[in-house]
Structure 1
Amino acid sequence: MVEPNHIYQYSIINALMAGVADSGIPVSQFTSKGNQGIGTFTKIQGELVLLDDKVYQLQASGSIRTAGPEEQLPYAVATQYEPQRTIRTPLKDKDDIDRVLEEFNDHAGNLFMSYRVDGRFKKLKARTVRGQEYEGQPLSELGSKQAVQEYEDIEGTIVGFRAPAAWQGFMVAGEHMHFIDRDRNVGGHLLELESDGEVEFGVAVVNNVHIELPTSEKFNAARMTTEDAGIKGIEG
């Protein structure tokens, strides 16, 4: 039985930055770790959303597909999300996400938070990475080739995590969130947002984190460092 509001993570962001993305945890195993999450697929092909026990691949072509149980995930984060508080609030921009989290618990700066936002957005910008062009291509190189889409008057769900600054490189420090529309047709890594009216915003504080590291030769041979500027650049 999965404990509520614990975080499970496979691999670390530094591994993606070093281009380690040829294998990972299978989708069938990942979905046993929680009911919502984010991540990517082998060869960093698009963005991942785990929502209500289903794994979706958000592709650079703009389409979405449901992932099969045997597909592998080189980096993925999940939680058995149970909101500790749910409110309705407008979001004038992406920075308002932090406002809501701080209002919920302003002493959680060195803890983790998971959240889910459901509603209609006046404007929203999201990106998806196109995937590695050669084996071992680092994530930082993919930033200039990502597909960016802008949407207006779109309804959907944001799945996100906030990690402490000290965890940069293990996770993405600060906000890391993916969006998927209500009809499961479009989505991506969230860059900008604006809501006209109120959205439903649920939050949970997390103080239990389990990280499973790959045991592959490529992971162990990779030269990993924490590229703070590079991570911030690719994550927007």
Structure 2
Amino acid sequence: MESASNITTPQSLLRPHEVFQTGLMAQLLDGVYEGEMTVEELLTHGDFGIGTFNGLDGEMIILDGQCYQMRHDGSISPAQMHQKTPFAVVTHFNPVIKRDLPHNILRRSATQVLDDFTVSQNYMYAIKIVGSFEWVRTRTVIKQSKPYPKMVEATENEDIVQFDHCEGTIVGFRTPIYEQGIGVPGCHAHFIENSYQAGGHVVDFKLKEAHVEICPGTSLKLQLPLTPEFSQANLSPEDLAEQISKAEKHSS
């Protein structure tokens, strides 16, 4: 009989692991779209992540140590090391949970399945879903010009783009509710096709078949911009949760 010390339990999957973040979601909501951290420096903190670029110039996705910029016009290109970000979340991806996902499920159902795979809702999780999709719906932020509008205004006219019968990777973070305003509560994810020709911020999807890898995060290192704009930002508006919901346009 296997001894109790050798039995794998959900809690035993936890180990010290850092998630690094620059900037705050609440900062973006208030229209503070410029940070000081370069892509080169960001990549020293992780090889897997998501974020945006100064001026909300498209979506950022970091996969296997490579940073890509997905712009509103649909183009995708490797990010330049000197580019800067106001908000990004990264980690060194070391998955301890690996599972196949049920076939032919929507994002809402996939979210429920992922909840069952994780240890506790009180930790962060870096999540990678790789597979084939019936469809994926995405949006991509449009580069803004000064004076910057608040994020709800900046994102209200974004188009939803659907990619049909595609293969690719979803990179995301599942964040506890208590981090509201620091990050995006729930699952914040970006998608990139295997061709690296299409992608964006995930709104919804329907899987054909895919597997997921999950890396729990047990600590968060947060770096804030040392700028006048950040110092003067309103980071705790009364309608914080409502603003996040509108800006993210989550379907689940």
TM-score interval, smaller chain:
over 0.9
Are positions 1:177 and 2:189 aligned together? yes
C-alpha contact (below 8 Å) 1:130/1:147 kept by paired residues: no
SS at match of 1:145: coil
* 4+ runs deviating over 3 angstroms: none
Are positions 1:68 and 2:80 aligned together? yes
RMSD of aligned alpha carbons: 1.5
Q: What is the match of residue 210 of structure 1?
A: 221
C-alpha contact (below 8 Å) 2:16/2:219 kept by paired residues: no
Are positions 1:201 and 2:212 aligned together? yes
CA separation in 2, counterparts of 1:206 and 1:4? 7
- In structure 2, relative to structure 1, the CA distance for the partners of 1:4 and 1:71 (3 Å cut) is farther
Residue 139 (structure 1) shift: 1.0
Q: What is the match of residue 5 of structure 2?
A: none
TM-score between the two structures when normalised by the length of structure 2: 0.88
Q: Given residue 176 of structure 2, which amino acid in structure 1 is its aligned partner?
A: P
C-alpha contact (below 8 Å) 1:4/1:79 kept by paired residues: no
Deviations along 1:122-167, one digit per CA (max 9) or x if unpaired, are 0110000112243332111122121321011011100010111111
Are positions 1:103 and 2:142 aligned together? no
CA separation in 1, counterparts of 2:141 and 2:120? 31
Stretch deviating more after TM superposition (221-230 or 10-19): 221-230
C-alpha contact (below 8 Å) 1:129/1:147 kept by paired residues: no
CA separation in 1, counterparts of 2:161 and 2:204? 11
Structure 2 residues not aligned, in runs of 5+: 1-14
Aligned pairs for 1:108-187 within 5 A: 108-187=120-199
- In structure 2, relative to structure 1, the CA distance for the partners of 1:98 and 1:6 (3 Å cut) is same
- In structure 2, relative to structure 1, the CA distance for the partners of 1:183 and 1:4 (3 Å cut) is farther
Aligned residues: 232
Are positions 1:45 and 2:57 aligned together? yes
Q: What is the match of residue 219 of structure 1?
A: 230
TM-score between the two structures when normalised by the length of structure 1: 0.94
SS at match of 1:171: coil
CA separation in 2, counterparts of 1:234 and 1:201? 26
CA separation in 1, counterparts of 2:172 and 2:134? 19
Stretch deviating more after TM superposition (31-40 or 131-140): 131-140
- Looking at CA atoms only, which structure, 1 or 2, has the larger radius of gyration? 2
